[in-house]
Chains A and B, each alone.
Chain A
Amino acid sequence: MNKHNNGKGTYVSMPFLKEERSLIDAITERVERIIERKQAEDALKCSESKFRSYIENAPYGIFVADENGNYVDINEAASRITGYSQAELLTMNLIDLISSEDHEKAAESFETVVKTGHSTYELHFETKDGSKRIWVVNAVKLSDNKFLGFVADITERKHADERIQYLNLVLSTIRNVNQLIVMEKNSDVLIQKVCDILTENRGYANAWIVLLDEHGKYINSAESGLGKDFTTMRTMLEDGKLTNCGNKVLKTKDMVVTEDPAKDTGRGCYSTCIRHGDNIYGLLTVSVPGSFIKDKEEQDLFREVVGDIGFALHSIEVEKKHKLAEQVHIETEERFRSLFENISSGVAVYTAVDDGKDFIFIDYNRASEQIDNISRKEVVGKKVTEVFPGIRDLGLLDVFQRVWKTGKPEHHPISFYEDEMITGWRENYVYKLPSGELVAVYDDVTGRKQAEAALQKSEEKLHLAIEGSKIGIWDWMVQTGEMTYNERWAEIAGYTLDELEPISIKTWNQRVHPDDIKRFDKVIKDYFEGRTDFYELEVRMLHKDGHWVWVLDKGKVTKWDPEGNPIRMIGTHLDITHRKQVEKAMIHAKLVAEEANRNKSDFLANMSHELRTPMNSVLGFSDLLLMGEYGKMSEKQKKPLEHVHEKGKYLLSLINAILDISKIEAGTMEVYYERFNVQHVLNDLQTMMIQMAAKKHITIDMDVDPQLTEITADLTKFKEILYNLMENAIKFTPENGLVMIDAIRKDDHARISVTDSGIGITKEDQDRIFEPFIQADGSTSRRYGGTGLGLNLVKEYVKMHGGSVWVESEVGKGSTFTFTIPIEPAGGEI
Chain B
Amino acid sequence: MAHILIVEDDPLNMELAVKLVGMKGHDVSEAITGEDALDMVKGSDFDLILLDIMLPGIDGLEVLAKLQDDPETAAIPVIAMTAYAMRGDRERFLNAGCVDYIAKPIDLDEFWRTLAKYVDE
* Interfacial residues, chain A to chain B (CB-CB below 8 A): 604-605, 608-613, 615-621, 623-624, 627, 629, 648, 652, 659, 663, 670, 672, 716
Let me know if A618 and B83 touch, CB within 8 A. no
Let me know if B13 and A617 touch, CB within 8 A. yes
Query: Would you call the interface of chain A mostly helix, strand, loop, or mixed?
Result: helix
User: How far is A612 from B53 in the complex, measured between Cα atoms in Å?
Assistant: 13
User: How far is A616 from B10 in the complex, measured between Cα atoms in Å?
Assistant: 10
Counting chain B CB atoms within 10 Å of each CB, the highest count among A608, A616, A617, A619 belongs to A616
Let me know if A609 and B84 touch, CB within 8 A. yes
Residue of B nearest to A620 (CB): B16
User: How far is A117 from B84 in the complex, measured between Cα atoms in Å?
Assistant: 174
Min CB–CB distance B121 → chain A (angstroms): 17
Min CB–CB distance A670 → chain B (angstroms): 8
User: How far is A214 from B76 in the complex, measured between Cα atoms in Å?
Assistant: 115
A608 partner residues in chain B, CB cutoff 8 A: 83-86
User: How far is A624 from B108 in the complex, measured between Cα atoms in Å?
Assistant: 9
Which are the 6 A-B pairs with shortest beta-carbon distances? Answer: A612-B83, A616-B104, A616-B105, A617-B12, A620-B16, A619-B105
B12 partner residues in chain A, CB cutoff 8 A: 617, 621
Which of chain B's residues 79-109 have a Cβ closer than 8 Å to chain A? Answer: 82-87, 103-106, 108
Q: A605-B86, A608-B83, A609-B54 given as contacts; is B19 within 8 A of A616 (CB)?
A: no
B1 at the interface (CB under 8 A from A): no
Min CB–CB distance B27 → chain A (angstroms): 19
Let me know if B13 and A629 touch, CB within 8 A. no
A609 partner residues in chain B, CB cutoff 8 A: 54, 82-85
User: How far is A616 from B105 in the complex, measured between Cα atoms in Å?
Assistant: 4
User: How far is A609 from B16 in the complex, measured between Cα atoms in Å?
Assistant: 17
User: How far is A772 from B3 in the complex, measured between Cα atoms in Å?
Assistant: 48
16 A-B residue pairings within 8 Å (CB atoms)? A604-B86, A608-B84, A608-B86, A609-B82, A609-B83, A611-B83, A612-B85, A612-B104, A616-B13, A616-B105, A621-B12, A624-B20, A624-B108, A648-B105, A663-B86, A670-B87
A652 partner residues in chain B, CB cutoff 8 A: 105
Let me know if A617 and B86 touch, CB within 8 A. no
Let me know if A612 and B105 touch, CB within 8 A. yes
User: How far is A335 from B60 in the complex, measured between Cα atoms in Å?
Assistant: 98
Let me know if B84 and A613 touch, CB within 8 A. no
A610 partner residues in chain B, CB cutoff 8 A: 83
User: How far is A674 from B114 in the complex, measured between Cα atoms in Å?
Assistant: 26
User: How far is A9 from B40 in the complex, measured between Cα atoms in Å?
Assistant: 149
Min CB–CB distance A32 → chain B (angstroms): 166
Min CB–CB distance B107 → chain A (angstroms): 8
Let me know if B85 and A620 touch, CB within 8 A. no
**Contacting residue for B16 out of A612, A617, A670, CB 8 A:** A617
Let me know if A620 and B10 touch, CB within 8 A. no
Q: How many residues of B contact A (CB 8 A)?
A: 19
Let me know if A659 and B105 touch, CB within 8 A. no
**Contacting residue for B23 out of A604, A629, A716, CB 8 A:** A629
Let me know if A624 and B104 touch, CB within 8 A. no
B83 partner residues in chain A, CB cutoff 8 A: 608-613, 616
Q: A605-B84, A608-B83 given as contacts; is B19 within 8 A of A613 (CB)?
A: no
Residue of A nearest to B91 (CB): A672
B86 partner residues in chain A, CB cutoff 8 A: 604-605, 608, 659, 663
Min CB–CB distance A521 → chain B (angstroms): 44
Min CB–CB distance B14 → chain A (angstroms): 10
Given contacts A608-B83, A609-B82, A648-B105, 13 further A-B contacts (CB under 8 A): A605-B86, A608-B86, A612-B103, A616-B104, A617-B10, A617-B12, A618-B105, A620-B106, A623-B108, A624-B16, A624-B19, A629-B19, A716-B87
Min CB–CB distance A598 → chain B (angstroms): 14
User: How far is A670 from B23 in the complex, measured between Cα atoms in Å?
Assistant: 39
Let me know if B23 and A615 touch, CB within 8 A. no
Q: A659-B86, A716-B87 given as contacts; is B104 within 8 A of A613 (CB)?
A: yes
User: How far is A750 from B9 in the complex, measured between Cα atoms in Å?
Assistant: 48
Min CB–CB distance A68 → chain B (angstroms): 171
B87 partner residues in chain A, CB cutoff 8 A: 670, 672, 716
Which of chain B's residues 1-46 have a Cβ closer than 8 Å to chain A? Answer: 10, 12-13, 16, 19-20, 23
User: How far is A659 from B89 in the complex, measured between Cα atoms in Å?
Assistant: 14
User: How far is A629 from B19 in the complex, measured between Cα atoms in Å?
Assistant: 9
Min CB–CB distance A97 → chain B (angstroms): 157
User: How far is A620 from B86 in the complex, measured between Cα atoms in Å?
Assistant: 19
User: How far is A623 from B111 in the complex, measured between Cα atoms in Å?
Assistant: 13
User: How far is A659 from B104 in the complex, measured between Cα atoms in Å?
Assistant: 15
B19 partner residues in chain A, CB cutoff 8 A: 624, 629
User: How far is A670 from B88 in the complex, measured between Cα atoms in Å?
Assistant: 10
Min CB–CB distance B113 → chain A (angstroms): 15
Min CB–CB distance B80 → chain A (angstroms): 13
Q: A624-B19, A629-B19 given as contacts; is B84 within 8 A of A615 (CB)?
A: no
Let me know if A620 and B84 touch, CB within 8 A. no
A670 partner residues in chain B, CB cutoff 8 A: 87
B23 partner residues in chain A, CB cutoff 8 A: 629
Let me know if B10 and A613 touch, CB within 8 A. yes
Min CB–CB distance B60 → chain A (angstroms): 12
Let me know if B13 and A613 touch, CB within 8 A. yes
A619 partner residues in chain B, CB cutoff 8 A: 105-106
User: How far is A648 from B104 in the complex, measured between Cα atoms in Å?
Assistant: 13
Min CB–CB distance B41 → chain A (angstroms): 24
A616 partner residues in chain B, CB cutoff 8 A: 10, 13, 16, 83, 104-106
Min CB–CB distance A511 → chain B (angstroms): 50
User: How far is A627 from B109 in the complex, measured between Cα atoms in Å?
Assistant: 12
Min CB–CB distance B101 → chain A (angstroms): 14
Residue of B nearest to A619 (CB): B105
Min CB–CB distance A629 → chain B (angstroms): 7
User: How far is A617 from B105 in the complex, measured between Cα atoms in Å?
Assistant: 7
Let me know if A621 and B16 touch, CB within 8 A. yes
Counting chain A CB atoms within 10 Å of each CB, the highest count among B19, B20, B82, B87 belongs to B87
Min CB–CB distance A626 → chain B (angstroms): 10
A620 partner residues in chain B, CB cutoff 8 A: 13, 16, 20, 105-106, 108
Min CB–CB distance A607 → chain B (angstroms): 10
Min CB–CB distance B21 → chain A (angstroms): 12
B13 partner residues in chain A, CB cutoff 8 A: 613, 616-617, 620
Min CB–CB distance A713 → chain B (angstroms): 15
| Contact code string B51-90 (vs A, CB < 8 Å = 1, else 0) | 0001000000000000000000000000000111111000
